[in-house]
């Protein structure tokens, strides 16, 4: 349960030093009572221990804190260890190798400890003491493989503050306080433990008016701040694996933002986590707008995300949502850049490649989209097996690219394979930002993909039963006033148009638009594709005036699938008309249109 410093010196250190061994003594000890005899705790015990250690003959001494301070330990440091030991081991791995000569010297480890321990301890006070005789003496050789692995892992971990305990406990410090502070401390600590954080915050503010600088006050401030970050951690941690993987309500996000504001205020700008907390607050504010279709200024939300990325550049979910906002703005280059940054941060994520594939499709980079979807499929197949939602999603998306390119023989087996798995309609037909549905893209129509493929191939007899069955199932699951059901009747409308039943096609499109307008608003971008398809029907009906009117509505709603416009043979009768050319040039740049060589040529 204990060893005396005299024994430590006489039995272990002196016999080695007299034989020429170099001895480095590292002490990260608490001031608690021993099991068989009482040891002096608190500041008194620290001073006694420090005096005894000073008498040892070792030329190198490292102490976790000053005699008047306390060492911290917490889950946030290596899963549950002392702060000093955690930083020391980081330094010995090579993080302290400032001159990159693959050797950590005593001077380098001293500087690393003195720089990082106080920073990570804040708002508590912990200043290590390092005494060395020869600053240039090497204490560790750097293993490049271990160091690089550690750096990669560290770069992926976003820092959060966890509750920290003072080694040796708080009892002695609490007993030394007056009764008022004791009562407020115990009340606040109890409220933190039961997660009554709003009340705990109010009690702490009262306590801080009496005492804002003692070790007890700093400890209480730290643990309250850590607890106030837990709601944010619960939201963001799953998003480190998949930015679209969020099962949270708007109220929960708003509560997390409120807690973050309190935590940020408690820690102050000098704390090492301050910028991270500000970044997370900005992200959550923009996230609310996108996730829950909150009416607001999209440009302001995008500015929040850009500032968040500057403050916390290794947060992948920030780039994901920046990509979504740029996609909404039809800024394909920036959207793709953001999704590429997202993939770079989580290259082992199938969802990362899947989302980059979406961006490639938006930009008309179909070869790149195919490569990214194939990579996503490989990852999902290796990690979750074929029955995983990610595998089915990526298979469908890859099939959709081949369908756009007219490569039906490659698309059909993908859809057939994907549809073998019983993936429920919620996971394959969701809409981003729609409450209660996972954030799948609106281009995902699940089992409809196979039916749509048969429509494109002209195999209408095979297409109709698939599309009708899918629509009936969507109506039963979601109800008649849901966007998911609306998407299925749009596909039936396309089939009706292909078979020459133009009036019935328009009827289906109008029904879908009514649902979309009712649920998502009359100016929602998801209706743009429907207006475009409605315009195609009018071209087939030889009603160019109505066709152009619907195309303009589609473009106003940011429909921008130029590849589909180029390859859609149903548009050939209108391609060479001056009115069609004028309309496209109104909404798309010459550079964009030049990428599609047959946009204005028929046949």
Lowest mean pLDDT among 87-96, 106-115, 381-390: 381-390
User: What per-residue confidence (pLDDT) applies to 211?
Assistant: 93
CB 219 within 8 A of CB 189: no
User: What per-residue confidence (pLDDT) applies to 63?
Assistant: 82
Confidence of residue 227 (pLDDT cuts 50, 70, 90): very high
State the chain's mean pLDDT as an integer.
Answer: 85
- What are the pLDDT digits (tens) for 232-244? 999 998 898 888 7
Higher pLDDT, 371 or 247: 371
**3-state per-residue secondary structure call for 16-76:** HHCCCCCCEEEECCCCCCCCCCCCCCHHHHHHHHHHHHHCCCCCEEEECCCCCCCCEEECC
User: What per-residue confidence (pLDDT) applies to 35?
Assistant: 37
Q: What is the DSSP letter of 454?
A: H
Percentage of residues in the chain having pLDDT higher than 90:
48
Q: Kindly state the average pLDDT of the residues 55-66.
A: 77
User: What per-residue confidence (pLDDT) applies to 500?
Assistant: 94
User: What per-residue confidence (pLDDT) applies to 581?
Assistant: 95
Q: Kindly state the average pLDDT of the residues 313-329.
A: 91
Instruction: Find all residues with CB under 8 Å of 197, minimum gap 6, and list them.
Output: 191, 224, 227, 228, 259, 262
Percentage of residues in the chain having pLDDT higher than 70:
88
Q: What is d(CA 435, CA 42) in angstroms, rounded to the nearest whole number?
A: 53
- What are the pLDDT digits (tens) for 144-191? 999 988 887 777 778 878 777 776 556 777 888 999 999 999 999 999
Lowest mean pLDDT among 34-48, 134-148, 266-280: 34-48
Give the CA diameter of the chain.
103
Q: Kindly state the average pLDDT of the residues 22-37.
A: 56
Q: What is d(CA 107, CA 560) in angstroms, rounded to the nearest whole number?
A: 60
Confidence of residue 445 (pLDDT cuts 50, 70, 90): very low
Confidence of residue 31 (pLDDT cuts 50, 70, 90): very low
User: What per-residue confidence (pLDDT) applies to 161?
Assistant: 82
Q: What is d(CA 259, CA 564) in angstroms, rounded to the nearest whole number?
A: 46
Higher pLDDT, 439 or 382: 382
- What are the pLDDT digits (tens) for 370-400? 999 999 999 888 765 555 778 888 888 999 9
Q: Kindly state the average pLDDT of the residues 251-271.
A: 95
């Amino acid at each position: 349960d204990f060893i005396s410093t005299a024994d430590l010196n006489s039995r272990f250190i002196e016999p080695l030093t007299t034989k020429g061994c170099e001895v480095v003594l590292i002490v990260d000890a608490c001031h608690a009572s021993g099991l068989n005899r009482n040891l002096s705790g608190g500041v008194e015990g620290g001073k006694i221990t420090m005096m005894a250690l000073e008498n040892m003959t070792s030329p190198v001494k490292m102490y976790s804190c000053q005699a008047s301070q306390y060492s911290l330990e917490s889950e946030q440091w290596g899963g549950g260890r002392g702060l000093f030991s955690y930083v020391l081991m980081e330094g010995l791995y090579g993080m302290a190798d400032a001159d990159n000569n693959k050797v950590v010297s005593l001077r380098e480890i001293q500087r690393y400890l003195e720089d990082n321990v106080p920073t990570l301890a804040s708002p508590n006070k912990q200043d290590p003491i390092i005494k060395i005789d020869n600053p240039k003496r090497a204490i560790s050789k750097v293993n490049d493989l271990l160091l690089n692995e550690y750096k990669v892992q560290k770069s992926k971990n976003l820092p959060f503050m966890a509750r920290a305990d003072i080694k040796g406990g708080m009892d002695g410090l609490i007993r030394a306080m007056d009764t008022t502070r004791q009562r407020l401390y115990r009340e606040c600590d109890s409220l933190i433990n039961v997660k009554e954080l709003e009340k705990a915050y109010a009690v702490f503010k009262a306590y801080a008016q009496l005492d804002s600088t003692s070790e007890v006050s700093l400890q209480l401030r730290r643990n309250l701040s850590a607890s106030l970050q837990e709601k944010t951690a619960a939201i963001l941690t799953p998003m480190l694996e998949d930015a679209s993987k969020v099962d949270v309500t708007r109220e929960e996000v708003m509560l997390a933002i409120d807690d973050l504001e309190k935590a940020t205020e408690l820690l102050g700008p000098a704390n090492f986590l301050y910028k991270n907390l500000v970044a997370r607050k900005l992200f959550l504010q923009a996230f609310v707008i996108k996730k829950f279709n909150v009416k607001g200024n999209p440009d302001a939300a995008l500015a929040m995300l850009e500032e968040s990325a500057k403050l916390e550049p290794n947060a992948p979910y920030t780039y994901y949502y920046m990509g979504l906002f740029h996609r909404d703005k039809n800024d394909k280059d920036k959207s793709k850049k953001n999704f590429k940054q997202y993939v770079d941060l989580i290259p082992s994520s199938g969802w990362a490649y899947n989302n980059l594939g979406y961006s490639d499709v938006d930009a008309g980079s179909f070869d790149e989209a195919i490569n990214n979807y194939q990579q996503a499929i490989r990852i999902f197949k290796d990690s979750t097996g074929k029955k995983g939602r990610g595998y089915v999603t990526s298979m469908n998306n890859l099939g959709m690219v081949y369908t756009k390119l007219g490569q039906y023989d490659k698309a059909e087996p993908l859809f057939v394979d994907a549809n073998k798995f019983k993936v429920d309609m919620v996971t394959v037909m969701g809409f981003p930002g729609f409450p209660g549905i996972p954030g799948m893209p609106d281009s995902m129509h699940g089992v409809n993909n196979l039916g749509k493929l048969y429509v494109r191939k002209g195999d209408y007899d095979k297409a109709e039963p698939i599309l009708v069955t899918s629509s009936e199932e969507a109506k039963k699951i979601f109800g008649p006033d849901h966007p998911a059901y609306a998407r299925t009747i749009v596909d039936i409308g396309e089939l009706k148009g292909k078979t020459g039943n133009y009036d019935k096609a328009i009827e289906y499109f109008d029904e879908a638009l009514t649902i979309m307008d009712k649920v998502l608003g009359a100016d929602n971008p998801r209706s743009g594709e429907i207006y475009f398809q409605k315009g195609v029907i009018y071209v087939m009906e030889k009603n160019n005036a109505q066709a152009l009117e619907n195309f303009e509505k589609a473009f106003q709603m940011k429909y921008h699938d130029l590849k589909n416009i180029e390859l859609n043979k149903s548009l050939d009768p209108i391609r060479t008309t001056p009115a069609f050319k004028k309309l496209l040039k109104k909404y798309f740049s010459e550079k964009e249109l030049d990428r599609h060589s047959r946009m204005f040529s028929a046949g």
